[in-house]
Structure 1
């Protein structure tokens, strides 16, 4: 846990300190009436995270009180989401339906106390009697029924002797209450529907407000954490538990702000409409904001968890920019996935002065990614390049292949165009080029200066693949209906070409298709014979540049989007931006994603230059500029910041010198944002110097291993992925101060 706790954790700590509870028990109680979405991911992280932080437990409970909408497939989807995100609910999944008899008995108790009655007015009259915000409601005449009458009617309701809607059970509270939720709320309604677990055993089902608090109590939940829309329901929650006089300890409800993301809908009703209307292929369509959709698209659980951590826990609702989620997946994949060559829109190229064939050894990862691995790329006199990488009449600032301008084939040779072949319509169908034999990448002695490198594949060995390019499902920032759907949210490319190692070596299921974006082998449709890849995310956020300002009409927006110069799906760089991009990638050795982000933003590129003037650490400074400084410069100018470029370079130097870890650097940066203090002063004041001494780290490792015997067994049985779990636990125990490299080495030794 970080030193600055959110308000929910502060409540939990106070409750434990006061002795209110001996153990923290939370719960994640979704309704199994749809697939869980990204908003549920936030709730999962909060409930399971708080329980884990305080050595408690989080129950997974299906709130299955409405059989008209619930299905077993939704239960399985919810379980899968929790597991995939890395959380453990223990031995049992709980169901509200497990407690139907107990909840019914509690309802009988309320009737006997004169606190509940069977009402028989129709829905329209019930609405009329409810009153308004400024006028008190009117109690139904049926509230005068005797306890005996109510007990008899309620039992008949249970036995299925009445039709749907003929009667309801209501609490008798206060028809004049300022909180309209307390105006005799419904406790039970009749539903002659088969339940996915209890079958036809019950003809009545409890309402959420009645079942929820009692289920929490039955399970021993201490902190019932809900989103803000349930704030007014808290009064009913407390009324039920207090009126029944249940034995302490009892649970209390606490609310946090639900997750809202622009260009996204998270109403289950609207998501179900998308599925039923055939606007998407299903709940796991990669454009859907469901956990299943993100999984199929290729998002990693780490990116989702990091996003939930970044947005934090607030008390007031707000809208999060979807670009932040997209940044999290880019940031995660950047250090993980191999880079490969692909051509999505092939243009044939014949190298007229090359004979035979050879293989070019090319690394999978750029120099700033701490992973090793390479593959052989076949090269011959017939290759394919991207159609956009050649222009016969190039605009100013075009740095790829032209009749007069040579270009480098990525990892290979420099080529010059000699002849352009067109079909009868004037479309370019082939290029005749010459290669420069002394220009091979890594041993170039040609002296030829080129401004960019392009991707390519060998015609003979390239493998045909289907590539699904996904964009945002909605074109409107605040979508309301199906009319707001983005008609270009999916483009299917049937004849893309990929280098053979992607299929033959298959070192990963996710790849960066260079200069295109990150892609994932579709977990359902992919086969080695017919490869299918889903685009996870582009190399940069170009959406804001493609869409018109908010005040423009939809027609004007479409006009502007149509008239913009676009390369693939991304807006073309200006001359100045392209020059910076080339400098960053060729001279400073930054990767393409980081170079794109900095080059396209004038404030970022200026800040980066100032920081670089103070310290020659281009990669380290670039990484903190795109991950941390960019967030602060989004709505501010550089002179409005509490920190300077010089201070950022000092912070990077401390990381480079291994005085602090990268994780600690984020904490230090957050303090710099608030206080403006120099990083060395913050590190000294908070005691954040990185721990590299094995004698300090080893006892912590021993303690972590002792606490997790089950995972030790699994690791020794062959589950090597658990090494990351143990390293993470040690880093957490040291507040992120331990040197990750030292921890990795020591943990591996300790688990042998």
Structure 2
């Protein structure tokens, strides 16, 4: 079945393949290494692979590329599955695969290459292997161990398997061409020694295949038809094809093909799991799901929805053009959705108190407010109005010019969904800071529009000082100051090398109040706090005793 509604070069390739072979069953795979949580860049690959399988009535496997036991664990395995399901993609038992389940087959394929004289055990150090390989300006030279006999290589490889070599003292390399213009073909390493416990295979193995060796064979074992990966693996395709050409693919219906697309890069975000792990281990952030992190779990905790992330992936498309997107492109997707779905509420993040001089001390009433201005079917709520209220401190000035559309001493303003008030005087502390505003409330103005009253400057939000709920507000900003904070994806990155790039104001705390109707809210609930932004109740820390709201995204424009 061809899918014409979505168009990109990969779908065009699949359509051409189906023209040549109408009975082909399309099979894709998403193959993360379980050494960290998934980030927003992975979402693009998840979306591409799972959507293609669905649209062409094929199958997409989730395969854990678990060939490095030092960095992998079951926590990451579980988190990855949770994120994929949360994004809206089904995972049945047959579609979840592990490279580690193929270790015996991979070992046998390595023996097959040795038998053909196409692989050898090398005892050069890792440093010397790099020196012998050369670079883009010079060809490599053969290792002194390259011409060992097949018999000796089989023997030494078995000793590697038995743990008779120490880590780093030997490895298995493919015998291809040390003078190749493509460095990837200069006798790449296929197996290395690691005496580490594996979360899936335990201590059964002490030698582990490299990604390049295991990846292509795993694709073949699973009958993957289109192996989709990002552009940094473009040169690796030569090795991918070389390995598959030189092994016997028993049980595989075809030789899988690798295709590359551009990775997702977003300004002021890091997409290197190495750097993300560094931020977690050095406690720069509060775990993998910190709302400042570009992880899927971080976006979820911040209040992003699965549908908004899917919409973002759909909008950006699939190309071979590398670029850096503005974070605003992702913010627009969640903002558009929440504008339609999020109930409205009143909140004051930086409160200052107002007392109405013309109302009795114990005055209170409940005002009916719609939960959404254009969707009456979302219902309404009752919000308390009392003799004393809180407004935001930025919504009052003793003196202001005509462009200031908020409360000014001696002038009138409309309270959102409530009355018109006038500021009469203020009380100041010993430092000269305003601590209290005395106002008059026009009790006949509840349903009046400011369009009909010329002297009213504008509208501000408020909450009752008598029955509002205290809350903590966490305002999240870019974690990094530089638009490309991890340009080299360096293996030598350290917290010292990136500390100067970290934004000291990436998380700001404010303490204020929300309206009384939010007393029974659930973790994860999302609201639009009018004139402030979209906020969700933190799923980790918030409780009935202490409400904590994470800012998901600002409103479309600033209040004028």
TM-score by length of 1: 0.70
- In the alignment, what sits opposite 1:274? 279
Displacement of 1:453 in angstroms is: 0.9
C-alpha separation between the residues in 1 aligned to 2:6 and 2:345? 41
C-alpha separation between the residues in 2 aligned to 1:506 and 1:131? 59
- In the alignment, what sits opposite 2:228? 225
- In the alignment, what sits opposite 1:105? 108
C-alpha separation between the residues in 2 aligned to 1:508 and 1:536? 11
Displacement of 1:370 in angstroms is: 6.8
Tell me whether 1:85 sits opposite 2:102 in the alignment.
no
Equivalent position SS for 2:552: strand
C-alpha separation between the residues in 1 aligned to 2:6 and 2:472? 47
Displacement of 1:245 in angstroms is: 4.1
Equivalent position SS for 2:217: helix
Report how many aligned residue pairs link the two structures: 542
- In the alignment, what sits opposite 2:183? 180
Whether the 8 Å contact between 2:26 and 2:225 is mirrored in structure 1 is yes
Displacement of 1:154 in angstroms is: 0.5
C-alpha distance after superposition, 1:464-522 (max 9, x if no partner):
111111111112212142211111111122x3101011123669810011111000011
C-alpha distance after superposition, 1:292-323 (max 9, x if no partner):
10011111111111111111101121111111
C-alpha distance after superposition, 1:171-229 (max 9, x if no partner):
11111111110011110001111111111110100000000000111111111000000
Equivalent position SS for 2:421: strand
C-alpha separation between the residues in 1 aligned to 2:336 and 2:403? 29
- In the alignment, what sits opposite 2:14? 12
Displacement of 1:246 in angstroms is: 2.5
RMSD: 1.8
Tell me whether 1:362 sits opposite 2:369 in the alignment.
yes
Whether the 8 Å contact between 1:21 and 1:222 is mirrored in structure 2 is no
Whether the 8 Å contact between 2:523 and 2:539 is mirrored in structure 1 is no
Aligned with 2:172 (options 148, 169, 189) = 169
Equivalent position SS for 2:341: coil
C-alpha distance after superposition, 1:556-614 (max 9, x if no partner):
xxxxxxxxxxxxxx6xx7xxxx4xxxxxxxxxxxxxxxxxxxxxxxxxxxxxxxxxxxx
Change (3 A) 1:20 1:106: farther
Equivalent position SS for 1:335: helix
- In the alignment, what sits opposite 1:525? 541
Change (3 A) 1:396 1:445: closer
- In the alignment, what sits opposite 1:391? 397
- In the alignment, what sits opposite 2:213? 210
- In the alignment, what sits opposite 1:58? 60
- In the alignment, what sits opposite 1:345? 350
Whether the 8 Å contact between 2:523 and 2:542 is mirrored in structure 1 is no
C-alpha separation between the residues in 1 aligned to 2:546 and 2:318? 44
Displacement of 1:459 in angstroms is: 0.9
Change (3 A) 1:117 1:62: same
- In the alignment, what sits opposite 1:240? 243
C-alpha separation between the residues in 2 aligned to 1:431 and 1:423? 12
C-alpha separation between the residues in 2 aligned to 1:207 and 1:505? 49
Displacement of 1:446 in angstroms is: 8.0
- In the alignment, what sits opposite 2:468? 462
Unmatched 5+ residue regions in structure 1?
542-569, 579-752
Tell me whether 1:441 sits opposite 2:447 in the alignment.
yes
C-alpha separation between the residues in 2 aligned to 1:52 and 1:134? 45
Displacement of 1:21 in angstroms is: 5.9
C-alpha distance after superposition, 1:415-471 (max 9, x if no partner):
001111111111101111111122113588984542311111111110111111111
Aligned with 2:457 (options 451, 462, 475) = 451
Equivalent position SS for 1:318: coil
Per mean C-alpha deviation after superposition, the further-off stretch among 471-480 and 212-221 is 471-480
TM-score by length of 2: 0.94
Displacement of 1:397 in angstroms is: 0.8
C-alpha separation between the residues in 1 aligned to 2:521 and 2:308? 26
Displacement of 1:404 in angstroms is: 2.7
- In the alignment, what sits opposite 1:37? 39
Unmatched 5+ residue regions in structure 2?
487-497
C-alpha separation between the residues in 2 aligned to 1:193 and 1:349? 65
Displacement of 1:335 in angstroms is: 0.3
- 1:193-592 map, 5 Å: 193-246=196-249, 248-355=253-360, 356-367=363-374, 369=375, 371-441=377-447, 447=453, 449-480=455-486, 481-493=498-510, 495-504=511-520, 509-540=525-556, 578=560
Change (3 A) 1:274 1:201: same
C-alpha distance after superposition, 1:515-564 (max 9, x if no partner):
110000111111122111111111037xxxxxxxxxxxxxxxxxxxxxxx
C-alpha separation between the residues in 2 aligned to 1:491 and 1:257? 34
Whether the 8 Å contact between 2:343 and 2:378 is mirrored in structure 1 is no
Displacement of 1:76 in angstroms is: 1.1
Equivalent position SS for 1:13: helix
Displacement of 1:135 in angstroms is: 2.5
C-alpha separation between the residues in 2 aligned to 1:445 and 1:125? 79
- In the alignment, what sits opposite 1:131? 134
C-alpha separation between the residues in 2 aligned to 1:393 and 1:2? 62
Equivalent position SS for 1:486: coil
C-alpha separation between the residues in 2 aligned to 1:526 and 1:158? 51
Equivalent position SS for 2:543: coil
Q: Which has the higher contact order (CA 8 A, sep 6+)?
A: 2
Equivalent position SS for 2:246: helix
C-alpha separation between the residues in 2 aligned to 1:187 and 1:61? 19
Counting strand residues as a fraction of each chain, which structure ranks higher?
A: 2
